[in-house]
Amino acid sequence: MTRREFLRAVGTFIVVAAALRWKTVVALAMKPRQAYPPLPSEVRRGIPGKKFVMVIDLAKCDGCRKCTQACQAMHFTPAPREWIKVYQMQDSPTAAPYWFPKPCFQCDNPPCTKVCPVDATFKRQDGIVLVDNERCIGCRFCMAACPYTARFFNWGNPSHTSEELATPYSPEYGFPRRMGTVEKCDFCPHLAREGKLPPCASVCPMGAIYFGDQNEDAVTNGQGETLRLSELLLDRAGYRYLEDLGTQPRVYYLPPKNRRYPAPPKVLEVSHAT
């Protein structure tokens, strides 16, 4: 075969292949620049000017666990893994029982990112702590370091839905998941970029979960109620769980005073709340 013949053969092959696959070629050429996933540098920096914060009103939470289900559906989280988990709490045998939804606290002094040997889990300017499963080496030091059991591990090969696999990976939503890597609640920054609430907040039928921006001093719940963060925390005596540990969580709780639902049954195991 001469050089000319070879080139002709290759050219013909390309033309024929392109003709057979013309749909793909056209789709590739017409494809708009995807907003998601954001560039890796944007993912690590965070959304400029924001300081995300969550407020959970324990007086409203009736333990229906819709937040957990919505979160699992959005992140394709396999049960029984719960990025936001609703605990049944009672601080002492004489204290009142209450429901306690617990996401990742996105601590401002995160014990998890401190210990990560490869910067796979990191703190962003907008206050969010994320995990990059393309970087994680699976040493699980962050899991041992987190006092809130907020982190989970893909021990085996995770099963994927086709919808999950069709999405390009981003640490901003954490899927498709990979074997041997850590994952956790991420405050859904990919939805925040669109000005949307995380599903846990938007589906809560009681409007117990408020999400917002500390810089704007505003938080909103799923029922569209927007409140001043500073006033809310002041009026309702907002507190952070295990403040003594010095982790500076970005999740605030409003004490379960004047509950709007029947109290949960008493718990056998007394929790270690402050």
Partner 1 sequence: MQPEQSADAAAEELLRSVRQTSRKGRLWIGSLVAVCSFGLFAYAIQLIHGLEVTAMREYVSWGLYIATFIFFIGISHAGTLISAILRVTHAEWRRPITRMAEAITVIALLVGAPMVIVDMGRPDRLLYVIRYGRLQSPILWDVLSIATYLTGSLLYLYVALIPDLARMRDQCTAIAGWRKRLYRILAIRWHDTPAQRAHLEKALGAMAVIIIPVAVSVHTVVSWVFGMTLRPGWHSTIFGPYFVVGAIFSGTAAIITAMAVFRRVYHLERYIALQQFRNLGSLLLTLSLLYMYFTLSEYLTSWYSAESIDVKLLKNLFDLHRYGFDFWVMAMLGLFIPTILLILPKTRTIIGITTASVLVNLGMWLKRYLIVVPTLQTPFLPVQGVPSSWIRYFPTWIEWSIVAGALAMFLLLFTLFSKLFPIVSIWETLEDTSDVPTT
**Contacts of 104 by beta carbon, 8 Å cutoff, 6+ apart:** 83, 129, 148, 150, 151, 184, 185, 186, 187
* 157 touches partner 1 (CB under 8 A): yes
Residue 123 has phi, psi (to 5 degrees) of -100, 130
The answer to whether the CB of 73 falls within 8 A of the CB of 50 is no
* 7 touches partner 1 (CB under 8 A): no
Q: Which is nearer to partner 1, 222 or 264 (CB)?
A: 264
**Contact window for partner 1 (CB under 8 A) among 5-13, 142-150, 188-196, 255-263:** 142-150
Residue 271: other Cβ atoms inside 10 A: 16
Binding mask 79-118 for partner 1 (x = CB under 8 A): -xxx--x-xxx------------x--------x--xxxxx
* 143 touches partner 1 (CB under 8 A): yes
Binding mask 19-58 for partner 1 (x = CB under 8 A): ----------------------------------------
Cα–Cα distance measured from residue 179 to residue 158, given in angstroms and rounded to the nearest whole number: 6
Question: Whole-number minimum distance, CB 109 to partner 1, in Å?
Answer: 11
Q: Which is nearer to partner 1, 68 or 220 (CB)?
A: 68
Q: Which is nearer to partner 1, 72 or 221 (CB)?
A: 72
Question: Whole-number minimum distance, CB 269 to partner 1, in Å?
Answer: 5
- What's the Cα-to-Cα distance from 228 to each of 55, 131, 217, 235, 254, rounded to whole Å? 11, 30, 6, 10, 14
- Amino acid sitting at position 38: P
* 180 touches partner 1 (CB under 8 A): yes
- ∠ CA 113-114-119, rounded to 5°: 55
At residue 63, the 3 state secondary structure works out as: coil
**Contact window for partner 1 (CB under 8 A) among 132-140, 169-177, 217-225, 258-266:** 132-140
* 235 touches partner 1 (CB under 8 A): no
Alpha-helical segments (H) within the chain:
3-20, 22-30, 40-45, 66-75, 111-115, 141-145, 162-166, 189-192, 199-203, 229-235
* 239 touches partner 1 (CB under 8 A): no
Which position has the token pair 């969550």? 54
Site residues for partner 1 per CB under 8 A: 80-82, 85, 87-89, 102, 111, 114-120, 135-141, 143-145, 147-149, 151-157, 179-182, 242, 245, 247, 267, 269-272
